[in-house]
Amino acid sequence: MGTAQRLATFKRLIAHAREQIGLDLGFVLWDGSIVPADLAADAVAISIADEGAVAALIRRPNMETLSNLWVAARIDIRNGSIFDLVAQRPKVRTKKFLKSLDKRLLLETVLRFLFLPRGGPWPLETQPDERPSDGSPEENKKNIGYHYDVSNAFYALWLDKEMVYTCAYCTDWDNDIDRMQQDKLEIICRKLRLKPGEHMLDVGCGWGALSCYAAQHYGVTAYAVTLSEQQVAYGQEKIARLGLQGRVKIELKDYSTVEGQFDKVAAIGIQEHIGIDNYPKYYRTIQRVLKPDGLFLHHAITRPAKRDERTFRRKRAEFALLTKYIFPGGELDHIGNTVAMLERNGFEVHDVEGWREHYQRTCKHWHDRLLANYDAAVREVGTVKTRLWLVYLAACSIAFERNGVCLYQTLSSKRHRGPSGLPPTRADLYR
């Protein structure tokens, strides 16, 4: 079966498929031909770099195959982004679409490509299989290093000016990422009711933005810990640059080994890395280091609960790929379990606030900024890492928009008899 015949058959199939579902999306094939031939030059199109990519998808039509083809740029998007591609997605269900296809043409296409070499490269195939974290400081450090020790310069290309890498907060839906992250740091400090002279623990502190902000604007002494060596280096430089020595300290340390007593504890986006089986250790650690009258702010991504825990812990294919390629060892809680774990470990829950739509916008800002700085990112970390992060940020934004994942902030204190000491309303948060 010759190359020209394969190409002609494939073009007939995708033209037929476009007609069946009324798709406006075009295709640019490996020989430079376009389907449809009259596609506008500025129209969104999928480009396929070689016929081996088609062969690979026919033999293994799954997310792992598609991910490898995407990061290798063997499948790409012309004149648009992943969001543009998703917007073109047909409303027809997959089963109905497949039934509508010309079965003879489909079979002919499959047979022409089935035994072709799949070509290469396959950059993600060396990644170890995804598995939950055992919770040890050693494995935690390895997992954190994989994601966060990519390059500070890479993250600086698309994060806000303070390098905050957790869900931002929209006081207006149209705010830019710098304003959103500034407002997020402020609302955290207000929820914790920080006061001058207090000692705050910042676990999973990232590049140190919250600790520096709290010290500058609320007069606290902050102790921040992370397992990312590059984050510690950046944070220590920032502390010196801002003249915060003696008021902020950042160290390379596992959260579970922290000693001391603190008036307030912030855990902003650390639970996602801990693993469900290790939650008891996490909550016991916070209980151990928090002073009797202290406050604990827990901020974490969640998934909706299922009919039972066994079903909940069964990962969908796309989430398993996220933990395999982006966040090794990562798992998400559901908010019901978060509240239950807090109560089981001696906390009184005062407030639970959902930020799902805030995170949808945050991830969209990050994606768009990374895409705008694509060439610089490739120079810094390479094509594979850049394209992997682009699809991860877009997928997260879409998942938050569709309510497949959520983000909650939960404020609690140690449970004790008598008044909590909190104000009668939340008015102080929004002054």
Catalytically active residues are: 396
| Residue owning tokens 């830019």 | 176
How crowded is residue 345: how many other Cβ atoms within 10 Å of its Cβ?
A: 18
Structure tokens, 366: 């990050």
The region that residue 25 occupies, defined by phi over 0 for left and psi between -120 and 50 for alpha, beta otherwise, is beta
What angle, rounded to 10 degrees, do the helices at 63-71 and 317-325 form? 40
Structure tokens, 77: 């998007």
Q: Which residues contact 68 (CB under 8 A, 6 or more apart)?
A: 56, 122, 123, 124, 125
Q: Which residues contact 395 (CB under 8 A, 6 or more apart)?
A: 82, 318, 322
Q: What's at 292, amino acid-wise?
A: P
End-to-end CA distance of the chain: 72
**CA dist 1 to 113, 116, 117, Å?**
9, 10, 14
**What is the distance between the alpha carbons of residues 400 and 414, in angstroms, rounded to a whole number?**
31
| Residue owning tokens 């060892």 | 329
For 275-399, where are the E strands, in sequence order? 290-302, 347-354
Q: Which residues contact 409 (CB under 8 A, 6 or more apart)?
A: 188, 191, 297, 298, 299, 351, 352, 353, 355
How crowded is residue 236: how many other Cβ atoms within 10 Å of its Cβ?
A: 16
Q: In what order do the strands lie in the sheet with 248-252?
A: 248-252, 221-226, 199-203, 262-268, 290-302, 406-414, 347-354
Structure tokens, 306: 């299922």
What SS3 state is found at 168? coil
Degrees to nearest 5, angle at CA 357 with 354 and 360? 130
Structure tokens, 168: 């931002």
**What is the distance between the alpha carbons of residues 260 and 290, in angstroms, rounded to a whole number?**
9
Largest CA distance in the chain: 82
